[in-house]
């Protein structure tokens, strides 16, 4: 669910965000009475052959009369939230560390609900060829690992894995990250173009089923069940459209709850119906590999969703001091937060 146009630089994104904040787009204030949505359309980027939580929420009626306006497909989480920050879209989702990076750079956005995560059924694995001499973290020094994009989930997981296994930051810098499209990663590992590849979802299932690869580690083994990333809204959008923000965040949370409680075959059937109906010339063949939403606690955000990555964020220079998670998120728009385990304090 979290598949991620070259990335805009963070600096460029911030400049654009500060330029467009409060202008145009769909973030115009409207009727704020009786909980009605102030705007009736939300622009967003999707993912081919995939149903995102907002798309599911809309189909289930959880967004009320708000319509989603698909403007294209995203290439990565960082690109998606940059598009939201610069008012090219109204919401975007990315890895928590990428959210921190954008906000630390000055982008006026706030995370309002978790949208992806890992559990025993749904996780990202890092694979080598079955006969690879790589067996431990230290064996990765001087080796190449394929990732979807830099500065996102896989990079943070790799850094954490290496650190937990005793590598110094100087040694970690000798592990080379190579950006490859997820669809090309398995073949690159098999051909020896890279030593390790990050695989998740259907791509992981296909690779494992084909044989000849071995799991080196995965993020569920490192952290257990955890939320990986959040949807963000621009702060000016939230200020002008608080009812819409609540409908959106709560709708996503309800969609997570629905996926969690609904039999798997019914979830897959619903995904297929949504993809077929939107007419984007997509395939539904890979839906059979869907296992779980992977998102705990109905999307409620916690401090640890950000502090989990503190060491990586510091070593990368994204933050210099201890994190202040309350700068990055709020749960006040997620009406399901009251029924979830009590989260840590956040802004709002």
pLDDT the model gives residue 75: 83
Paired tokens of 150: 């830099």
For residue 116, the cross-strand partners are 229
pLDDT the model gives residue 57: 98
Residue with tokens 């610069």: 86
Measuring CA to CA, which residue among 187, 220, 183 is closest to residue 203? 183
CA 250 – CA 113 distance, rounded (Å): 8
CA 222 – CA 158 distance, rounded (Å): 10
Statement: 124-221 belongs to CATH 3.40.190.10: yes
Are 21 and 236 in contact by the 8 Å Cβ rule? The answer is yes
Residue with tokens 């502090």: 307
CA 281 – CA 274 distance, rounded (Å): 12
Q: Are strands 226-234 and 144-147 parallel, antiparallel or unpaired?
A: unpaired
Contacts of 99 (CB under 8 A, 6+ apart): 81, 109, 111, 229, 230, 232, 306, 328
CA 248 – CA 63 distance, rounded (Å): 6
CA 325 – CA 14 distance, rounded (Å): 20
pLDDT by residue, tens only, the chain of 348 residues: 443 333 344 444 444 444 443 333 444 444 555 689 999 999 999 998 999 999 999 999 999 999 999 999 988 899 999 999 999 999 999 999 999 999 999 999 999 999 999 999 999 999 999 999 999 999 999 999 999 888 889 999 999 999 999 999 999 999 999 999 888 999 999 999 999 999 998 889 889 989 999 999 999 999 999 999 999 999 999 999 999 999 999 999 999 999 999 999 999 999 999 999 999 999 998 888 899 999 999 999 999 999 999 999 998 899 988 899 999 999 999 999 976 554 444 454
Backbone φ, ψ for residue 323 (5° rounding): -70, 145
Are 294 and 226 in contact by the 8 Å Cβ rule? The answer is no
Domain 10-119+225-339: assigned CATH number: 3.40.190.10
Are 346 and 305 in contact by the 8 Å Cβ rule? The answer is no
CA 100 – CA 108 distance, rounded (Å): 11
Q: Are strands 144-147 and 196-200 parallel, antiparallel or unpaired?
A: parallel
CA 240 – CA 258 distance, rounded (Å): 29
Residue with tokens 């494992």: 208
Contacts of 241 (CB under 8 A, 6+ apart): 27, 29, 30, 37, 38, 39
CA 181 – CA 183 distance, rounded (Å): 5
Measuring CA to CA, which residue among 231, 229, 247 is closest to residue 41? 247
Are 106 and 85 in contact by the 8 Å Cβ rule? The answer is no
Are 117 and 129 in contact by the 8 Å Cβ rule? The answer is no
Listed in order, the ranges of the chain carrying CATH 3.40.190.10 are 10-119+225-339, 124-221
CA 48 – CA 15 distance, rounded (Å): 29
Are 330 and 153 in contact by the 8 Å Cβ rule? The answer is no
């Amino acid at each position: 669910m979290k598949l991620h146009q070259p990335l805009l630089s963070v600096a460029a994104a911030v400049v654009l965000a500060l330029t467009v904040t409060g202008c145009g787009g769909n973030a115009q204030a409207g009727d704020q009475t009786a909980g009605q949505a102030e705007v009736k359309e939300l622009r967003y980027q999707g993912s081919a052959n995939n149903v995102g939580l907002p798309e599911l929420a809309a189909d289930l009626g959880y967004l009320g009369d708000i319509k989603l306006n698909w403007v294209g497909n995203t290439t990565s989480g960082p690109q998606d939230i940059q598009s939201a920050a610069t008012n090219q879209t109204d919401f975007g989702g990315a890895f928590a560390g990428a959210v921190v990076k954008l906000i630390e750079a000055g982008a006026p956005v706030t995370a309002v609900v978790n949208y992806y995560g890992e559990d025993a059924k749904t996780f990202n694995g890092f694979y080598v060829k079955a006969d690879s001499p790589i067996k431990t973290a230290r064996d990765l020094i001087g080796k190449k690992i394929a990732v979807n994009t830099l500065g996102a989930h896989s990079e943070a997981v790799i850094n954490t894995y290496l650190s937990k296994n005793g590598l110094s930051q100087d040694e970690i810098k000798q592990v080379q990250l190579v950006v490859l499209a997820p669809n090309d990663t398995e073949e690159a590992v098999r051909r020896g173009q890279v030593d390790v590849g990050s695989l998740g979802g259907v791509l992981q299932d296909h690779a494992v089923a084909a044989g000849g690869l071995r799991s080196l580690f995965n993020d569920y083994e490192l952290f257990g069940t955890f939320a990986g990333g959040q949807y963000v809204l621009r702060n000016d959008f939230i200020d002008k459209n608080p009812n819409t923000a609540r409908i959106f965040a709560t709708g996503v949370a309800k969609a997570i709850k629905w996926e969690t409680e609904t039999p798997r075959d019914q979830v897959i059937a619903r995904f297929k119906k949504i993809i077929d109906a939107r007419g984007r010339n997509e395939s539904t063949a890979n839906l059979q590999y869907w296992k779980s939403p992977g998102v705990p606690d109905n999307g409620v955000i916690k401090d640890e969703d950000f502090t989990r990555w503190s060491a990586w964020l510091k070593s990368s220079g994204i933050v210099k001091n201890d994190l202040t998670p309350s700068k990055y998120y709020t749960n006040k728009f997620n009406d399901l937060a009251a029924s979830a385990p009590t989260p840590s304090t956040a802004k709002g």
